[in-house]
Amino acid sequence: MIIAVDGPLAAGKGTISKALAAHYGLPHMDTGKLYRGVAYRLLAQGLSPHDQAAAAGVAKSLSMQGIEDEALRTAEVGAAASVVAANQAVRQALFHLQRDFALQPGGAVLDGRDIGTVVCPEADVKLYVSASPEERARRRQAELSAMGEEISYETMLAQTIERDTRDSGRADAPLRPAEDSHLLDTTGLSIEAAVDKARLIVDQVRSAKG
């Protein structure tokens, strides 16, 4: 069984995906980590995420070894990852990594921004997890604050809207729900409630498909 979970920044797709993977006994891939990994490597080398050739080169030989998860969650790396993700050569370089993971025996859970539309259009279950920009900005601000990175709510909201615009407006694999995806709005929901709704959707789809 392949479960594709898409959605914008801080909508809750990562948390939901991990919970689904644990519940159904499936491996999980946060595909956003790949793009953040490329961004991190570029910044560490003093290169610009807007340097398309450099970004493509890093993506083709990407190694996540030695990169701590916390380093990938900074605001700087997140903003750079959004720029890198609009690079078609980067997306092509990372596509096969994601496909190979999804097609392993037994299936997998993948979360990102184009899993149901591009990476795994044949996924058995597709979820599109969303929340209001205001809610997502509050969540992201709280996450960064817990990491010791202070940013105002107003700045975070502006960055959230800017990233949404860039992700949904890029020419290659824009952020959008697949036509057959099931929408899950997590605005105002607890983590437990959101996960329960996601599991219910998966179970209902599986039951309908026999």
For the packed helices 153-169 and 133-146, what is the interaxial angle rounded to 10 degrees? 120
pLDDT at 173 over 90: no
- pLDDT band for position 171 (cuts 50, 70, 90): confident
Tens-place pLDDT, residues 19-67: 999 999 999 999 999 999 999 999 999 999 999 999 999 999 999 999 9
Tens-place pLDDT, residues 101-142: 999 999 999 999 999 999 999 999 999 999 999 999 999 999
Look at phi and psi of residue 66 and say left if phi exceeds 0, alpha if psi is from -120 to 50, else beta. Answer: left
Predicted pLDDT of residue 172: 85
pLDDT at 210 over 80: no
Q: What is the mean pLDDT of residues 70-82?
A: 92
Taking the C-alpha atoms of residue 72 and residue 186, their distance in angstroms, rounded to an integer, is 24
Q: Which residues are annotated as a binding site?
A: 7-15
Taking the C-alpha atoms of residue 127 and residue 184, their distance in angstroms, rounded to an integer, is 7
Share of the chain above pLDDT 90, in %: 93
Read off the DSSP letter of residue 197: H
Domain 2-208: CATH superfamily is P-loop containing nucleotide triphosphate hydrolases (3.40.50.300)
pLDDT at 170 over 90: no
Q: Which residues are annotated as a binding site for ATP?
A: 7-15
Predicted pLDDT of residue 140: 95
Average pLDDT over all residues of the chain: 95
Q: What is the mean pLDDT of residues 12-25?
A: 97
